[in-house]
Amino acid sequence: MKLAMQSRKSQLKMGETVAILFIFFILLTIGAVFYFNIKRASVTREGSEQFELKAVEITQSISFLPEAQCTESNVVKASCFDLYKLIALASLKNDPKIVRTYEREFGQSALTIRQVYPPGANYTIYENPPPQFNDASTTNIPISLYNATADRYYFGVLEVKVYR
Amino acid sequence: MELMGLTIIVILIILGILFAIKFVILKKPPETKASFTRSQMTSNLGMAILQSTSKNCKGTDVTELMTDCAQWIETGGLISCEDGRNSCRYVNETVAWILNSTLVQWKVKYYVSAGTSKNPKDPKVFEFSNLKCKDNQPGNSELFFLPTDRGVMTVKIFICS
């Protein structure tokens, strides 16, 4: 009789321990799922931040590209692109050698300069899209375009499209 | 005793979740690109507009037309362009056209103005705004100063954040 009572008590105790362990593991699983979801969101956010920084870096690089900048007596003019330099660069954009040269600087992106006022042509000076891309970030920066032969400045926009 | 342990674990998990919500989920995303674009836009927009040569106004640039308009604002400006428009009308329509082709299309909130007087009731060379943006709101601004016979003309470019 005493042995049977002791055995039932032990069974009850073991059942309790198993139930507590079960609840503990459920809570641990929920915690782990929550943690990994947060970690994934954080990694995605860091990825987009890096992508945005890359877009800013490319925009800065093109803004100070000597091959496109306006100069007067060797003095560089801020936020100004020489129209004839752009025409020359646009004519070379499909040359694989040129694409390879600029790939290190501009990566997988497209750089277009639009003449807004007076309305004029668009000049795509670099285009290197990946075969497949999920997203593209576009940055538009107002600039001046200088026509050296007419000695006129036009209002333009530098459009930087970065693919990922 | 086991219940005590379980309670402590639950409390720790709740604390962990609250900590994660506070520092990971509610963390504001960095606006590196937005802030860079805004600052570049404000400075470059003013420079590019002021430097632009008019399409059909005797080869004058926007700065000359604005200066003329500010000096003779009551008569609408002395410079008369090829198409018959005077400097004030020409510069107003040109700046409006540039803004409509760029910032309005990109849905950027802006406030752009130019004038010589600090009194807001006095006539301005031009004043444009988009999406209820005002210069007292948070954002980036850039000022350009042009000398005229009526004092210094201030061109204000303001991009709301």
Phi, psi angle pair for B31, to nearest 5°: -110, 55
CA distance B53 to chain A (A): 5
What are the chain A neighbours of B40 within 8 Å (beta carbons)? 59, 141
The rounded distance, in Å, linking the Cα atoms of A68 and A105 is 14
For chains A and B, count residue pairs whose Cβ atoms are closer than 8 Å: 93
Phi, psi angle pair for B119, to nearest 5°: -75, 120
- Check if the beta carbon of residue A154 is closer than 8 Å to that of residue A117: yes
User: Which parts of chain A sit beneath pLDDT 50?
Assistant: none
Q: In what order do the strands lie in the sheet with B110-115?
A: B126-129, B110-115, B151-160, B139-148
- Check if the beta carbon of residue B29 is closer than 8 Å to that of residue A52: no
Are B48 and A59 an interchain contact pair (Cβ–Cβ within 8 Å)?
A: no
The pLDDT value recorded for residue A164 is: 82
The reply to whether A136 touches chain B by the CB within 8 Å rule is: no
Q: What is the number of residues in chain B?
A: 161
What are the chain B neighbours of A83 within 8 Å (beta carbons)? none
What are the chain B neighbours of A155 within 8 Å (beta carbons)? 48-49, 52, 98
Q: Which of A38, A49, A142 sits opposite B44 (nearest CB)?
A: A142
Q: Tens digits of per-residue pLDDT, B17-42?
A: 788 777 766 777 667 778 888 888 89
- Check if the beta carbon of residue B64 is closer than 8 Å to that of residue B91: no
As averages over each run of 10 residues, the pLDDT of chain B (161 residues) reads 77 82 71 83 91 90 92 88 90 93 92 83 85 87 90 91 83
| Structure token digits, residue A67 | 């091959």
**ipTM more than 0.85?**
no
The reply to whether B98 touches chain A by the CB within 8 Å rule is: yes
Whether residue A118 is preceded by a cis peptide bond, meaning omega within 30 degrees of 0, is yes
- Check if the beta carbon of residue B45 is closer than 8 Å to that of residue B157: yes
The reply to whether B97 touches chain A by the CB within 8 Å rule is: yes
One-letter identity of residue A84? Y
- Check if the beta carbon of residue B130 is closer than 8 Å to that of residue B112: no
Helices (H) and strands (E) in chain B, counts: 4, 4
What are the chain A neighbours of B98 within 8 Å (beta carbons)? 116-117, 155
Domain ranges of chain A: 38-163
CA distance B133 to chain A (A): 19
The pLDDT value recorded for residue B29 is: 66
Mean pLDDT of chain A: 87
Domain ranges of chain B: 31-160
Q: Tens digits of per-residue pLDDT, A36-48?
A: 888 888 888 888 8
- Check if the beta carbon of residue A162 is closer than 8 Å to that of residue A58: yes
The rounded distance, in Å, linking the Cα atoms of A142 and A156 is 6
